[in-house]
Structure 1
């Protein structure tokens, strides 16, 4: 049986707004480049405004379907060589410690710009997609949980699809291969964007 920790966490994909950029292996490389260019411009502007960029990767490593965030956080910390990462495999950020983490970010960093990473449910055709959304993350929306609106921008990795099964089944049935590929892709986008913004 799924505990409340995970019930607070998961959310489904909202209807795609016009400011969402989407990429998967079936789409053209130009779309991947568009996300990198968009994020790079955001990072450059943040530096001009003397805002510190923080990556907040939400999820748990206890269930495959929920591990996208902490896995991506570990990859970002390793590949982008930044210490401004909250939520890794070693120290996950989830429903029980999200609010304290947000308070710590505001206390530690000067005018932080927060970019979130989280797993999402979508349609069967969307599995494997990465969305970069020019808006805060609403964690727990699908389950109508009261968690704070989080961040300035966010990545959603669609790891599984909605069906009549309970949400706990989603956690158990998600393929590690899917989560790993999505985590690597998001970390690649962030690493490339960091490098491009620093040039």
Structure 2
């Protein structure tokens, strides 16, 4: 759970009430993600808190989708949270040399921004809203604004409406599936390297 009191001009922002939210977020993702690299998605959070379940919900929604260009870490069954984040990030770097990481986490902010999802460049700081010291994560990140900040954040997370978290998570998962399909289609359509054919010299008669 990170904290966001304002959005920067460089971020891409969509709202869960926009009927085209998933399509628009997919366009932004395809624009920002490297076309030829496998992208590692880290869905950060815990199933023990309604508000902080945003990331693991997305991970579980994607778990059985057979994604072609993404690898997902963090689900409701196997969450990526404060107690194992260091260890899991080390494992990711062991298994995936030079990983390009898309970090997903819930965040708290202004009441007017609840229901917004932002795509930003650079890392996020998981646990910042709860004053936890965790490593920054991500080359790019998705933050889902699930509730307001400013007072008793832990209680706020526990009392976040499940409807909001579920709706945002489903739309982000749909955007990632669309992005994966587009990335895979472009790879399949890319021309293969031509086969080099070398002429064979005829043997001169003795």
TM-score band, normalised by the shorter chain?
0.7 to 0.9
- Kindly indicate whether residue 133 of structure 2 is the aligned counterpart of residue 142 of structure 1: no
Deviation at 1:78, TM superposition (A): 2.7
| Contact 2:67 2:180 survives alignment (8 Å) | no
Residue 111 of structure 1: aligned partner = 98
TM-score (norm 2): 0.81
The 5-angstrom pairing of residues 4-19 of structure 1 reads 10-19=1-10
| Contact 2:39 2:101 survives alignment (8 Å) | yes
* d(CA) in 1 for partners of 2:181, 2:150: 39
Specify whether residues 148 and 177 from structure 1 end up closer, same or farther in structure 2 by C-alpha distance, changes over 3 A only. Answer: same
Deviation at 1:163, TM superposition (A): 4.1
Deviation at 1:103, TM superposition (A): 0.6
| 1:121 alignment partner, one of 79, 83, 108 | 108
| 2:155 alignment partner, one of 169, 175, 188 | 169
* d(CA) in 1 for partners of 2:107, 2:165: 11
| Contact 1:79 1:187 survives alignment (8 Å) | no
| Contact 1:59 1:92 survives alignment (8 Å) | yes
The 5-angstrom pairing of residues 34-45 of structure 1 reads 34-43=24-33, 45=34
Query: Aligned with 1:155: secondary structure?
Result: strand
* d(CA) in 2 for partners of 1:60, 1:96: 10
Deviation at 1:28, TM superposition (A): 7.2
| Contact 2:14 2:24 survives alignment (8 Å) | no
Specify whether residues 38 and 95 from structure 1 end up closer, same or farther in structure 2 by C-alpha distance, changes over 3 A only. Answer: same
TM-score (norm 1): 0.84
Larger proportion of helix: 1
Specify whether residues 27 and 161 from structure 1 end up closer, same or farther in structure 2 by C-alpha distance, changes over 3 A only. Answer: same
| 1:71 alignment partner, one of 43, 57, 61 | 57
* d(CA) in 1 for partners of 2:129, 2:49: 18
| 1:184 alignment partner, one of 160, 170, 183 | 170
* d(CA) in 1 for partners of 2:67, 2:117: 22
C-alpha RMSD of matched pairs (Å): 1.9
Larger gyration radius, structure 1 or structure 2:
2
Superposed CA offset, 1:36-76 (max 9, x none): 12211344x341xxx32111000000111111111110112
Superposed CA offset, 1:134-159 (max 9, x none): 12111122344321111111111111
Residue 197 of structure 2: aligned partner = none
Specify whether residues 143 and 60 from structure 1 end up closer, same or farther in structure 2 by C-alpha distance, changes over 3 A only. Answer: closer
* d(CA) in 2 for partners of 1:89, 1:145: 21
| 2:117 alignment partner, one of 110, 120, 130 | 130
